[in-house]
Structure 1
Amino acid sequence: MNGTENSMRDTWQSPIAPGLSWYQDTIVERPAYAALDGSTRTDVAIIGGGFTGLQAAYNLAKRGVDVLLIEGGRFGDGASGRNGGQLGSGQRAWPDELEPELGYERSRALFDLAENAKRYLLDFAETHGIDMDFQPGQMNVSHKKGHEDAYRRSAELLATRYDYPHVTFMDREETAARLGSSAYHYGVRDTGTGHIHPLKLLVGLARAAAQAGARICEMTRASSITQSGGKTLIETPAGRITADRVLIATNAYIGNLERETAAHVMPIRSFIGATVPLDDFPHVIPGNEAVADSRFVVRYFRKSIDGRLLFGGREAYTADSPRDISRHIRKQIAELYPELKNIDMTHAWGGSVGITLTRKPFAREVMPGVTSVAGYSGHGVMLSNYAGKMYADLVAGNSSELDLLTDLQVPPFPGGARFRGPLLFLALTWFALRDRF
């Protein structure tokens, strides 16, 4: 949804929540789960109770594996329960970006993996009766005139080489009509995907994992990971967990718990605001699609099931939270919709999202028997859920699909623990300036 080393050390798994999210305010029931009580052993231990960890716990438990998951806060307090809710097709980079780098076969396999993730997520919600407020449609729009050819090529490439006919190019007139704003030049519309209420999904997922037999514990912070005698030992305030295998699924909240993941996954802060329902402004996204734009510091927005504008776009690369999130968000809304410059905001919240240097997911065995999966780079609602399922398949020996992610070359951030934060701040500030000018 960044921080200095000291702040991350103190809050690696207790997300900073500057305000109550609209998601949390619209959950009918959010069950609490007990903290770990005493030392224990398990076949598989999972650290992190977001989409990745809980999906892994669910899929392992239903196979009869003894699995224990611990989460430092409440389930849903991290990015899984506070994000933009968009199910973007494919990977974070479009196929016309990945194909020259990876070749057609690997690029196609990664696209197909993402489509598998989409189908899995929608089927999972239906099977378990999770009403996650799914609404169809997503648009990617360009804030620069020079992107027209790239957008046209992307739509054509997806249809002809990736067997995905759901993306169509939008000229300036269509883009303005579908957005209700003339702020963007071109766009593509994807009718094969949509957007959801992520916390409703998360709550339903935790319930499914518990019913499948997984031991899932909230308010249980891991303080260290060590290995001895072929086992992995996880220390918590409540006792030691001894496990044969471990999944680290902390994403942006890794802190100093495990060095290799921390070197490859950087937390940045992202903020979202919710307006009052737009009953007087029916022209704003009349088709109810989700929207993401072409800025490096992406602006992403959509209408909720009750007609509010949920708008995200202000990222921060320091440890400090803005004092008034809603003021910053309203300013960005007004740049696209001047008529909404005085719109009332009912909620404003933020959190940390994990990014990698290449914006590709990070998946790796970081110690013998210890796997880390993270760094979805703002494209993780589908991929993070499916990553948990793929990890469970790997443990069960049924699939090597996770290898498509572990084979990706994701370099560490430069600068080491001391300088990577300041270097990232400089780099991302430069890109933000390029977006503006």
Structure 2
Amino acid sequence: MNLLYANDRPGEYPRSWYAATAAELAPFPALQGETQADVCVVGAGYTGLSAALHLAQRGFSVVLLEAHRVGFGASGRNGGQVGSGQRLEQDELEHMVGREDARRLWDLSEEAKALVRGLIDTHAMPVTFHPGVAHACRKPSEVAHAHANAEKLARDYGYDQIQPLDRKGIRALIGSDAYVGGDIDRGAGHLHPLNFAIGLARACAAAGVRLHEMSAVLNIEQGPRPVVRTASGSVRAGYVVLAANGYLGNLMPEVAARVMPINNFIVATEPLGPRAAEVLSEPVTVADTRFVVNYWRLSEDGRLLFGGGESYGYRFPDIVKTVTKPMLDVYPQLRDVRIDHAWGGTLAITMNRLPCFTRIGPNVLSASGYSGHGVALATLAGRILAEAVAGQAERFDLMASLPQPRFPGGAALRWPMLVLAMTWYSMRDRLGI
């Protein structure tokens, strides 16, 4: 079974609140016949769209191929968080790669947030950036760690945007007794993820990128000028950029060994009206400290968008049942609220939760595996990929040098082994360990 078609109709966005409120974007034609370009980009999520845009702005001719619609995958379905830092905290990165490279990674993450906001403004995208990402802790030890992390970022990295919260502070912010403290990062934020992807696509088209939807890539013939083939056409290019993330499948086994697709789910309630103030006293987004993270925010029309639960494999479970249980653990007062939308999506994780940048060949590059931190990092990855194609590979090589172990068990056994591991961590979440 192919993840591209396991849970979705070809060429249709899932029935999400994002799709219901998406900005208008006329379909792009499928690739027909043979064509040539300087660069062929595979995948029209944030990575591919950003890479195509930055390449076109550098004067390259670009063909962008998407199996479904622009932003169809995780880019159009995620929680919309534009977070600070990498997926790992800075103390972990310092231990892993040393202080100098940890600092470079922090600076890249700050650039990533600024890039998202800059693209929105420069291209007048149909997107509003809402500042504020809160982190809700379940245990006093987690609160102590969060506050120490805020102190470290202020002291060692000059980042003073994080406000520590005690039990009273987190309760006042999120209207729930489920947490004992946390923090709020005023330098991070959230947005409508599908409209950001649509904004990037509009910018690509205006810059001269040839976008083709309904053009799933079947194979890539590597060589001095690789050939990328779909069912109805082919692209011969000087470079190929792979940006398919969790939907890469077996197109490149070298990447698949290090990048694992997993599924995550979100529900949208009916508009809450005055009750919205009981859920969040500020228009911020929240993520908690569970291993299988709960995350939530209010939509612009006053709905609770709540994400939680994961699955491993092809088929999605009962999404409403999967997500409403953790939602009601946090907000039992919403038991009578109607669920209007429920959707799932496939993202990609790596063993160490750092992005996987790979030079598959001298003219085939890949970036993926953002591990739930992709709105900002994937957008920056596109810029970095464009730099590498243009011969400025220092930042790509930094990311590619990060340790990136293979998943144990290989492609055949990685899902069963991951299920065993995640089941254990999910049980720890339920027991509060």
Normalised by the size of structure 1, how large is the TM-score? 0.95
Partner of 1:302: 297
Partner of 1:3: none
Identity of aligned residues (%): 44
CA apart distance, 1:400 = 2.2
> Among 127, 134, 154, which residue is 1:132 paired with?
127
Partner of 1:329: 323
Partner of 1:99: 94
Distance change >3 Å, CA 157–CA 358, structure 1 → 2 = same
Distance change >3 Å, CA 125–CA 399, structure 1 → 2 = farther
> Among 236, 254, 261, which residue is 2:248 paired with?
254
SS in 2 for 1:223: strand
CA apart distance, 1:318 = 3.1
> Among 216, 229, 241, which residue is 2:211 paired with?
216
Q: Structure 2: which amino acid aligns with 1:215? A: R
The CA distance in 2 between the partners of 1:42 and 1:18, in whole Å, is 28
CA apart distance, 1:435 = 1.2
Partner of 2:181: 186
Partner of 1:59: 54
SS in 2 for 1:154: helix
Residues 143, 184 of structure 1: 8 Å contact kept: yes
Distance change >3 Å, CA 264–CA 304, structure 1 → 2 = same
Distance change >3 Å, CA 11–CA 235, structure 1 → 2 = farther
CA apart distance, 1:200 = 0.9
Deviations 1:67-114 (A, max 9, x none): 111001111210001110001100011112222222211111111100
Partner of 2:356: 362
Q: Structure 2: which amino acid aligns with 1:55? A: S
CA apart distance, 1:15 = 8.4
Moved more, 364-373 or 154-163: 364-373
> Among 19, 28, 33, which residue is 1:24 paired with?
19
Deviations 1:175-220 (A, max 9, x none): 1111111101120110111100011111111011011011111000
The CA distance in 2 between the partners of 1:279 and 1:209, in whole Å, is 38
Determine if the alignment matches structure 1 residue 292 to structure 2 residue 287. Answer: yes
Distance change >3 Å, CA 182–CA 18, structure 1 → 2 = farther
> Among 84, 92, 104, which residue is 1:89 paired with?
84
> Among 118, 128, 151, which residue is 1:123 paired with?
118
CA apart distance, 1:10 = 6.0
Residues 8, 14 of structure 2: 8 Å contact kept: no
The CA distance in 2 between the partners of 1:43 and 1:378, in whole Å, is 31
The CA distance in 2 between the partners of 1:388 and 1:53, in whole Å, is 6
Determine if the alignment matches structure 1 residue 312 to structure 2 residue 307. Answer: yes
> Among 33, 38, 43, which residue is 1:38 paired with?
33
Distance change >3 Å, CA 15–CA 318, structure 1 → 2 = farther
Determine if the alignment matches structure 1 residue 412 to structure 2 residue 384. Answer: no
The CA distance in 1 between the partners of 2:44 and 2:295, in whole Å, is 25
Deviations 1:363-408 (A, max 9, x none): 0101231111000000000011111011112222346222231111
Deviations 1:283-309 (A, max 9, x none): 211111100111111111111112111
SS in 2 for 1:148: helix
The CA distance in 1 between the partners of 2:257 and 2:105, in whole Å, is 24
The CA distance in 1 between the partners of 2:168 and 2:11, in whole Å, is 41
The CA distance in 1 between the partners of 2:210 and 2:338, in whole Å, is 42
Distance change >3 Å, CA 15–CA 179, structure 1 → 2 = farther
Residues 362, 376 of structure 1: 8 Å contact kept: yes
The CA distance in 2 between the partners of 1:232 and 1:305, in whole Å, is 45
Residues 13, 250 of structure 1: 8 Å contact kept: no
CA apart distance, 1:418 = 1.2
Determine if the alignment matches structure 1 residue 114 to structure 2 residue 109. Answer: yes
Distance change >3 Å, CA 15–CA 343, structure 1 → 2 = farther
Q: Structure 2: which amino acid aligns with 1:309? A: L
SS in 2 for 1:231: coil
Residues 13, 254 of structure 1: 8 Å contact kept: no
SS in 2 for 1:378: coil
SS in 2 for 1:277: coil
The CA distance in 1 between the partners of 2:247 and 2:3, in whole Å, is 7
Residues 15, 352 of structure 1: 8 Å contact kept: no
CA apart distance, 1:243 = 1.4
Residues 57, 214 of structure 1: 8 Å contact kept: yes
Determine if the alignment matches structure 1 residue 171 to structure 2 residue 161. Answer: no
CA apart distance, 1:149 = 2.2
Residues 298, 313 of structure 1: 8 Å contact kept: yes
The CA distance in 2 between the partners of 1:393 and 1:423, in whole Å, is 37
Normalised by the size of structure 2, how large is the TM-score? 0.96
Distance change >3 Å, CA 141–CA 50, structure 1 → 2 = same
Partner of 1:142: 137
Alignment RMSD (CA, Å): 1.8
Q: Structure 1: which amino acid aligns with 2:405? A: P
